[in-house]
Amino acid sequence: MAVNLKQLTQHEELLTGGHRACAGCTGSNILRQIMLTAGQNTVVGGATGCMEVVTTIFPYTAWRTSFIHSAFENCAATVSGAETAYRALKKRGDLPREETGRKNFIAFGGDGGTYDIGLQSLSGAMERGHNMVYVCYDNEAYMNTGIQRSSATPLGAFTSTAPAGKVKQGKEQNRKDLTKIMVAHNIPYVAQTTPFHWKDLATKVEKALAVDGPAFLNILMPCPVGWHFDTAIGMQLAKEAVESNFWPLFEVENGVYKINQKPKERSPMENWMKQQGRFKHLFRPGNEAILENIQTYVDEQWEKLLKLEEMTAK
Amino acid sequence: MSFLKNSELHEGGIIREAGNAHDYQTGDWRTFVPQFVEENCIHCMFCWIYCPDSAIDIDTSGDKPKMKGIILDHCKGCGICATECPPAKKGKAALVMVREEK
């Protein structure tokens, strides 16, 4: 399944311009790239969040496919329902013949709608084994409502509900590893990627859509508003998140781990963090210990991942 | 922009015209605008794949896809295209961000 840009340019653009995402938003680019690969025969559902709001401000929609609105907590349930209804109608012969081909069902949720609020419905849908793909665009906080902390926010990051001041220095807990929680559901395909790695992303979307059963994609989405960086460098930050092992590119196919990119020499977390305003306070004197904690945590997680790859290799 | 009257809305608030956000102009959000320097362009399509606003106009009719320019109705001037442009890294940028005079 080799993907190249020339092929992708031949595909139909299913997310139009004119949506109201912020300038420099890498999230709308994630949707675009996924839809380029998924194609017209796709039913999309969106949990409340940045991407649902900006693409469908009434009376406009930026989607050239069908799109279903959902509340924060039930996007996976909505899409799994649509998928079941489609199967039932097909079985009963209630669909016109041209509609009985393969359809893709994709649910989109932000990290708030996936890691926190929508976790129960996501877990249910994955356990029931629906033929759907759940995509989490992870910008590491509730950006749409004003940058509140979520369980995806990394240690030390500034958010409006975990601020940095004289007493506290941003979020005090490490982020939750949702990708591994999804692996624990023993579903056929789980992967992690970023929009900078378009080839990796397109391949993973293709694989996720091709499997029989549920698949989960976790995609890092640098957010210029919440992470406080210049709008032009969003994609570079996605790249550096991978180079520093903060966001490793890996996939788990039927329980077998595969790391898609191993940096020859991992770059220190500081280089990545220095470019983001949300970590600014950590570079003040007295916060060296937090910086060290962050680096240790990232290195530990990477070591674990290497071991998992080795352990599950066939 | 005109708003719909209540009598013109579809039941359940369904939007029947897929992709009608295409008619909505977000170009006036811009402060900086990418300028396309055609002679430096290697038509690698990196700007096209990385654009968050589907604002890169390409010609796919030929053997190889060709970059034609920027769709100014949608471009928000974020500058991702100019940052990711490979010729720019060699000092011959095909996309240059300049302050837009209105």
- The C-alpha of B95 sits at a distance from chain A's nearest C-alpha, in angstroms, of 12
DSSP string, chain A: ----HHHHHHS---B-S---PPTT-SHHHHHHHHHHHH-SSEEEEE-SSHHHHHH--TT---BSSEEEE--SS-HHHHHHHHHHHHHHHHHHT-S-GGG-S--EEEEEEEHIIIIITTHHHHHHHHHHT-S-EEEEEE-SSBTTTT-B--TTSPTT--BTTB-BSSS-BS--SPPP-HHHHHHTTT-SEEEEE-SS-HHHHHHHHHHHHHSSS-EEEEEE---HHHHT--GGGHHHHHHHHHHTTSS--EEEETTEEEES---SSPPPHHHHHTT-GGGGGGGSTT-HHHHHHHHHHHHHHHHHHHHHHHHH--
* pLDDT computed for residue A128 by the predictor: 96
| Mean pLDDT, rounded, for A149-164 | 95
| Mean pLDDT, rounded, for A190-207 | 96
Does A8 have pLDDT greater than 60? yes
CATH number, domain containing residue B67: 3.30.70.20
Domain of residue B65: give its range. 15-99
- The C-alpha of A18 sits at a distance from chain B's nearest C-alpha, in angstroms, of 5
CATH number, domain containing residue A191: 3.40.50.970
Local confidence band at B39 (pLDDT 50, 70, 90 cut-offs): very high
Q: Is residue B9 part of a domain?
A: no
Q: Is residue B75 part of a domain?
A: yes
Does A284 have pLDDT greater than 80? yes
Q: Is residue B4 part of a domain?
A: no
Nearest to A62 among B21, B29, B46 (CB): B21
Does A303 have pLDDT greater than 70? yes
* pLDDT computed for residue A181 by the predictor: 96
Q: Is residue B1 part of a domain?
A: no
CB–CB contact B74 A18 (8 Å): yes
User: What CA–CA distance (Å, rounded) separates A302 from A267?
Assistant: 13
* pLDDT computed for residue B13 by the predictor: 82
* pLDDT computed for residue A193 by the predictor: 96
> Which pTM was predicted?
0.94
pLDDT > 70: percent of chain B: 96
* pLDDT computed for residue A239 by the predictor: 96
| Mean pLDDT, rounded, for B45-66 | 94
CB–CB contact A62 B64 (8 Å): no
* pLDDT computed for residue A204 by the predictor: 97
* pLDDT computed for residue B7 by the predictor: 82
Tens digit of pLDDT for each residue in A105-147? 999 999 999 999 999 999 999 999 999 999 999 999 999 999 9
Give the residue on A whose Cα is nearest the Cα of B30: A23
Tens digit of pLDDT for each residue in A21-34? 999 999 999 999 99
Q: What is the sign, positive or negative, of the torsion defined by CA atoms of A242, B77, A204, A143? A: positive
Backbone angles phi, psi at A146, to 5 degrees: 120, 40
Does B34 have pLDDT greater than 70? yes
User: What CA–CA distance (Å, rounded) separates A149 from A159?
Assistant: 6
Kind and range of the H or E run holding B66: strand B66-70
Q: Is residue B87 part of a domain?
A: yes
Local confidence band at A2 (pLDDT 50, 70, 90 cut-offs): low
| Mean pLDDT, rounded, for B81-89 | 92
Angle at alpha carbon of residue A154, lines to A251 and A163, rounded to 5°: 160
Q: What is the mean pLDDT of chain B?
A: 90
* pLDDT computed for residue A158 by the predictor: 95
Q: What is the sign, positive or negative, of the torsion defined by CA atoms of A179, A174, A139, A279? A: negative
Nearest to B52 among A28, A61, A230 (CB): A28
Give the residue on B whose Cα is nearest the Cα of A230: B78
Local confidence band at B12 (pLDDT 50, 70, 90 cut-offs): confident
Residues of B in contact with A224 (CB under 8 A): 78
Question: Could you give the 3-state DSSP secondary structure of residue B39?
Answer: helix
* pLDDT computed for residue A200 by the predictor: 96
DSSP string, A74-111: -HHHHHHHHHHHHHHHHHHT-S-GGG-S--EEEEEEEH
Half-sphere exposure of A144 (CA within 13 A, CB side): 20
* pLDDT computed for residue B101 by the predictor: 83
Domain count for chain B, please give it.
1
Does B17 have pLDDT greater than 90? no
Domain of residue A255: give its range. 5-312
Does B102 have pLDDT greater than 80? no
Does B2 have pLDDT greater than 70? no
Domain count for chain A, please give it.
1
Edge-to-edge strands, sheet with A66-69: A66-69, A42-46, A104-110, A133-138, A215-220, A189-193, A250-253, A256-259
Nearest to B78 among A13, A24, A198 (CB): A24
A194 CB within 8 Å of a chain B CB? no
Range with lowest mean pLDDT among A7-11, A118-122, A220-224, A230-234: A7-11
Angle at alpha carbon of residue A164, lines to A163 and A170, rounded to 5°: 70
A222 CB within 8 Å of a chain B CB? no
* pLDDT computed for residue B8 by the predictor: 80
What six digits make up the tokens of A249?
A: 């590119």
A16 CB within 8 Å of a chain B CB? yes
User: What CA–CA distance (Å, rounded) separates B95 from B47?
Assistant: 9
CB–CB contact B21 A18 (8 Å): yes
Give the residue on A whose Cα is nearest the Cα of B70: A17
Local confidence band at A295 (pLDDT 50, 70, 90 cut-offs): very high
ipTM: 0.92
Does A1 have pLDDT greater than 60? no
